[in-house]
Structure 1
Amino acid sequence: MAAEMNGTVSRPSIADHPIAYHAVDLDGLVGDGPFAYCRGKLLASPPPAGIVVHCRDLGDPDVFDGIIARYSEKFPGSDRRAIVSMWTLYYFSVLTIAPSVHMFVNRIALSLEMDRLSLVCNGETGEPEAFVMSDRPEAAADPAAELHRLMLGHAEPVIVAIAANAGVAPKLLWNNAAAYLSWILKEIAHRHAPALVEGGLALLDEAAWPCGRRNPMFGMIRMARQQCGLEFARRKVCCLRYNLPGVGGCGEACPLPDGRH
């Protein structure tokens, strides 16, 4: 049972069970708390239903086009770039939200490189729903380093592959990833403590990554201010979702006036 300390709930961590890493229940660590939406996103085995493909195979145009063709049935005749961008919003939400919670809250290291995961898509719509892991979780001494590894080992190669297959600008895809990563890190800071995610936010806010390479997410999320004084996050690059029928715009988060409706 979770213990209450200084008014906050302290949930069990993988570090509390060093001998049983192989048996750790990621969904159990999340529980019914504020991050319950992370359950079912990182799986130890394939689910009984859905489409399962190796993430590395998304670099194969035939594999990628087959999934996008299924997803595009929701938006017949629409701009393919907008369809692909919308699909990647689902993808990056799964890739960044649950892993960040486990890295920074539960201090878990996960092997999330592109060649270590399989993607689970909805069998009817083709929407990304979860990842199947091939390696067991371990304790994380440096969550920010784990997040950096995720960016280099998965986000970067999958963006390169999708950009090449779909003709979508890499900066649009990086902005899609940055939007969800920024949101979840700030949510963790709100639920726990800002200091907990300082290293993770640096991977968004600094011009260079710890490895010395240019940060492709730098400046992708900008803080703006409404006339009433409230601050809000705004993307640098539009995700194009406003071009899809039945899909609402991003409101003030969109850099384009047409996308705010």
Structure 2
Amino acid sequence: MAAETNRASRRPTSIADYPIAHQAVCLDGLVGDGAFSYCRGKLLSVPPQTGIVVACRDLCDGAVFEGIIARYAQKFPGGDRRAIVSMWTLYYFSILTIAPSLHMFVHRIGLPLQIDRLSLVCNEKTGEPEAFVMTDRLGVTADPAGELHRLMVGHVEPVVAAIAANAGVAPKLLWNNVAAYLSWILKEIAHRHERDLVEGGLALLNDAAWPCGRRNPMVGMIRTARQQCGLEFARRKVCCLRYNLPGVGGCGEACPLPDGRH
């Protein structure tokens, strides 16, 4: 009886702790209520009952993307168009990098995150990104940096190219939005676990070239600055423009522009 109770109360710590039939829905169980609980509910196996669900590949269609952004822009009447698009992508890229990085590097899970294998869930009123729906089965990976590299090449890269072309936003701004969240979550994982765990991910963020040989569009996007008291902090290379939106504060010291630090 005691052994059965212990097995029932033990929280799973790996995808291997779940039967194969349940692996597609185990992510929130792995996260639990601990330090990374904000990652729960971001990667789904089935579409939710509410919200707008759109295939991520369709976001590369200018008309589809315009429909989503037009809905989101209603939150900021008269707001700067570039800032509105940038703010929307901050939500998109935060969901696409934070929870996946945790599962790749800590739980060693291979996630089906290529652009053709995901759908985006947006708030039905605001168009704000809320989660992704995965259609394929999860797997175990021994190469989390390789998984992250595939995410960058197979999803982030085409999305950035399409949004830049369709919305008139500089690719550097969008890549800096990606780098800001990726840098943050990798450092959080290193802080709460160990740095060796994410060395491969940090290399994808900081090295001049990716393993495929292509130039790394995120290199130099996050810089280390120092306050007068000597405290170090991360600062973006390119401003996200959010301070131009009514009712939205700036990024503080993280912003490269003085106007965005308020």
Same fold (TM over 0.5): yes
The aligned residue for residue 32 of structure 2 is 31
Identical amino acids, percent of aligned pairs: 80
Letter in 1 for 2:91: Y
SS of the aligned residue for 2:74 comes to: helix
The CA deviation at 1:22 is 3.7
Q: Distance in 1 between matches of 2:103 and 2:164?
A: 28
User: Is it true that 1:236 corresponds to 2:232 in the alignment?
Assistant: no
Aligned to 1:91: 92
The residue type equivalent to 1:42 in the other structure is: L
Structure 1 distance, partners of 2:177, 2:105, is 21
Amino acid corresponding to residue 150 of structure 1 in structure 2: L
Confirm or deny that 1:155 pairs with 2:156: yes
Separation of aligned partners in 2, 1:108 and 1:185:
16
Match of 2:3 in 1: none
TM superposition score normalised by structure 2 = 0.94
1:24 CA displacement: 4.8
Contact 1:14 1:21 in 2 (8 A): no
| 1:214 and 2:204 aligned | no
1:114-153 to structure 2, matched below 5 A, reads 114-153=115-154
Shift of 1:15: 3.6
| Secondary structure in structure 2 of the residue aligned to 1:144 | helix
- Say if 2:176 is the partner of 1:175: yes
Unpaired runs of 5+ residues, structure 1, are: 3-9
Kindly indicate whether the alpha-carbon contact (under 8 Å) linking 2:15 and 2:23 is maintained by their aligned counterparts in 1: no
Partners of 1:175 and 1:217 within 8 A in 2: yes
Structure 2 spans left out of the alignment, 5+ residues: 1-5
Secondary structure of 1:53's counterpart equals strand
Counting matched residue pairs gives 254
1:82/1:107 CA distance change after superposition, 3 Å = same
| Separation (CA, whole Å) in 2 of partners of 1:200 and 1:25 | 23
The C-alpha deviation readout for 1:14-72, integer Å capped at 9, x for no partner, is 14457456455110000111111111000001000000000000011111001000000
Q: CA contact under 8 A between 2:25 and 2:44: conserved in structure 1? A: no
In structure 1, how many angstroms separate the alpha carbons of the residues matched to 2:157 and 2:24?
Answer: 30
Counterparts of 2:47 and 2:24, CA distance in 1: 17
Question: Residue deviations 1:59-101, cap 9 Å, x none?
Answer: 1111100100000001111110000000000000000000000
Structure 2 residue aligned with 1:203: 204
Cα distance in 2 for residues equivalent to 1:56 and 1:227: 46
